[in-house]
Amino acid sequence: MTTVKEATFELLRRHGLTTLFGNPGSNELPFLAGLPSDFRYVLGLHEGAVAGMADGYAQATGRPAFVNLHAAAGTGNAMGALTNAWYSHTPLVITAGQQVRSTIGQEVMLSNVDAPTLPRPLVKWSSEPADPSDVVRTLSQAVFTASADPQGPVYVSVPYDDWATDAGIAAEHLAARTVSRAGAFTTDQLADLTATLTAANNPVLVLGPDVDSARANDSAVRLAEALSAPVWVAPSAPRCPFPNRHPCFRGVLPAAVDGITRKLDGHDLIIVIGAPVFRYHEYDPGRYLPDGAELLHLTCDPGEAARAPMGSAVVVDIRSALESLAAAVPASGRPMPAPRERPAPAPAVDGVLTPGAVFDAINAHAPADAVYVNEATSTVSEVWDRIEFDSPGSYYFPASGGLGFGLPAAVGVQLADPGRRVIGLVGDGSANYGLSALWTAAQWNLPVVIIVLNNGTYGALRAFAGKLDATDAPGLDVPDIDFCSLAAGYGVDAHRTPTADEFIDRFTAALAGTSPVLLDVPIATVSPFED
């Protein structure tokens, strides 16, 4: 007899899901006991950190990641992180241990009452198999559902007495199954789109995270060059889809209706690829499009296509769409956009460094292929201005703005990609939501460098408080947090670097080392809003 557990590990193996991110409880122990030696278990100390690490890992590998949580309490702790995974289209196969089948109805301790409902609407699909013999098939469905466009998190609750039972005859073919996708333009669609792009006098490209997750960045460059079009990154950017030192690059669009319309004014065709239209944040009513502009939206997400307030959309595989457009659109003959001006080097004021000076120093000393995970909310535009992102997979930010992603995701990305150095840029507020991921970084001796941008306040909220006439709101400052002691407590080497010279010394030493390092950097507060 093949047990449900044996068949499950074979299924996970065939799908390359041999890294398990989890935090265990009694319900999960029967699954985890005797973990095969080709699997590794990455323990996180809080489920928000577990999910954040898995999210970073899945985004960096471009493949689903497997998560194992403890019943309802563990699921609840992870759910904030699922807001990010949902909007970054991160494929997560999340499992949770359930109490013994026959006892769930009595609501015994650690039963997950109505388990499939709990994580909705932050998962694409959730289930608790109706019978033990359906567990392996349900997990197979979970992997394929998470991996189908638009990718995202899925959830399966498994009663722990199921693992030792007979996998059943229905499990026989599951491990060998494949589900693949096509999703390219039809010949007519490609001809129409090519004609539309070619006919535009002044087109502009707006690129989103799914260009980077499809690793279609090079095709985006070819298309931009053929069109001689300026390129903006879609607002609230969770990834970098286009090299930000390319002459066509213009910046990240503001996350506001009127702000976007003003930036795109004068264009007759706005081509949005791999992003929602649009992910606004600040309420800033106005016209949704500049006068005379048409918007064309290419997305892998039918939900994004359906809910946009303007434009015509095509639901398509992003990599294939960009490859075929880059090959089909002829050179426009228009002059290339002039490269935008680089910001002047930021002054380094010892005592309180400016964020700009810190980012200049990071850019000057980090390896060219470094990966940045950013969760410092008031300094995002400075990061984009001063740090170069060249290759695919160079930048990650929480896609729904749910804090607690940055520090764990930096650990997960470093685990996924030992060949590139990961630098976490984390605010002193944000760092606390996922701080325990430092312990996992120490235990796995991952060479991630965490830079805490410490201004003693929730800087972005201070700026919002100004806009929303709420400057006397309580709870906006976070003074007196000793990050060096906290890091030391989790086993991570840490230093406070109040001057530019000390920062550069410690940063270059961290890059030369092979273990995690945290640098606590006092910085001045800046406003995230454009003047």
Which of 19, 157, 219, 377 binds ligand TZD (CB under 6 A)? It is 377
The three-point CA angle 345-346-352 to 5° equals 155
CA pair distance 76, 90, nearest whole angstrom: 18
| Nearest CB to Ca ion, comparing residues 95 and 354 | 354
| Contact (CB, 8 A) for 206 and 234 | yes
| Nearest CB to Ca ion, comparing residues 262 and 496 | 496
Examine the residue annotation and report whether 46 is marked as an active-site residue of this protein.
no
In the block, residue with structure tokens 């606004």: 280
The answer to whether residue 427 forms part of the interface with Ca ion (CB under 5 A) is yes
Residues between 411 and 440 with contacts to ligand TZD, criterion CB under 6 A: 427-430, 433
In the block, residue with structure tokens 């928000």: 48
Token duo for residue 210: 């799914």
Among residues 80, 353, 340, the alpha carbon closest in space to that of 233 is found at 340
Among residues 400, 393, 361, the alpha carbon closest in space to that of 377 is found at 400
- In eight-state DSSP terms, residue 353 is B
Q: Where are the alpha helices (DSSP H) in 276-369?
A: 302-307, 318-328, 355-365
The answer to whether residue 402 forms part of the interface with ligand TZD (CB under 6 A) is yes
CA pair distance 89, 145, nearest whole angstrom: 12
By CB under 6 A, how many residues form the interface with ligand TZD? 20
Examine the residue annotation and report whether 47 is marked as an active-site residue of this protein.
yes
- Residue 376 contacts which entry, ligand TZD, Ca ion, none (Cβ below 5-8 A, type-dependent): ligand TZD
| Nearest CB to Ca ion, comparing residues 64 and 356 | 356
Catalytic residue among 70, 89, 246, 267: 70
**DSSP secondary structure, 420-454, as one string:** S-EEEEEETTGGGGGTTHHHHHHHTT---EEEEEE
Examine the residue annotation and report whether 147 is marked as an active-site residue of this protein.
no
The answer to whether residue 429 forms part of the interface with Ca ion (CB under 5 A) is yes
- Integer distance in angstroms from the first to the last C-alpha of the chain? 69
Examine the residue annotation and report whether 15 is marked as an active-site residue of this protein.
no
Which of 111, 140, 147, 378 binds ligand TZD (CB under 6 A)? It is 378
> Least CB distance from residue 30 to Ca ion, whole Å?
43
CA pair distance 221, 248, nearest whole angstrom: 9
Residue 266: is it exposed, middle or buried by C-beta count within 10 angstroms (0-12/13-18/19+)? exposed
- Residue 21 contacts which entry, ligand TZD, Ca ion, none (Cβ below 5-8 A, type-dependent): none
Q: Is 493 helix (H, G, I), strand (E, B) or coil?
A: strand
- Residue of this chain nearest to Ca ion (CB atom): 427
The answer to whether residue 455 forms part of the interface with ligand TZD (CB under 6 A) is yes
| Nearest CB to Ca ion, comparing residues 372 and 458 | 458
Catalytic residue among 10, 22, 46, 47: 47
CA pair distance 150, 389, nearest whole angstrom: 25
Q: Which amino acid is at 346?
A: A
| Nearest CB to Ca ion, comparing residues 242 and 458 | 458
| Nearest CB to ligand TZD, comparing residues 112 and 432 | 432
- Residue of this chain nearest to ligand TZD (CB atom): 427
Which of 10, 301, 375, 428 binds Ca ion (CB under 5 A)? It is 428
Listed ranges 303-311, 338-346, 441-449, 454-462: which one lies at the site for ligand TZD (CB under 6 A): 454-462
CA pair distance 368, 389, nearest whole angstrom: 8
Catalytic residue among 6, 25, 133, 391: 25
Examine the residue annotation and report whether 70 is marked as an active-site residue of this protein.
yes
Catalytic residue among 10, 15, 22, 28: 28
The three-point CA angle 350-351-356 to 5° equals 60
Q: 498: alpha, beta or left, given left = phi > 0 and alpha = psi -120 to 50?
A: alpha
Listed ranges 159-167, 307-315, 423-431, 486-494: which one lies at the site for Ca ion (CB under 5 A): 423-431
Displacement of CA 243 from its chain's centroid (Å):
18
Residues between 274 and 333 with contacts to ligand TZD, criterion CB under 6 A: none
Among residues 11, 14, 31, the alpha carbon closest in space to that of 22 is found at 31
> Least CB distance from residue 520 to Ca ion, whole Å?
12
> Least CB distance from residue 402 to Ca ion, whole Å?
16
By CB under 5 A, how many residues form the interface with Ca ion? 5
Which of 459, 494, 497, 510 binds ligand TZD (CB under 6 A)? It is 459
Residues between 62 and 121 with contacts to ligand TZD, criterion CB under 6 A: 80
Catalytic residue among 6, 76, 228, 281: 281
| Contact (CB, 8 A) for 464 and 495 | no
Judged by the rule CB under 5 A, the positions of this chain that interact with Ca ion are: 427-429, 455, 459
Binding site for ligand TZD (CB under 6 A): 80, 376-379, 401-404, 427-430, 433, 455, 457-461
Kindly list the catalytic residues. Answer: 25-26, 28, 47, 70, 281, 401
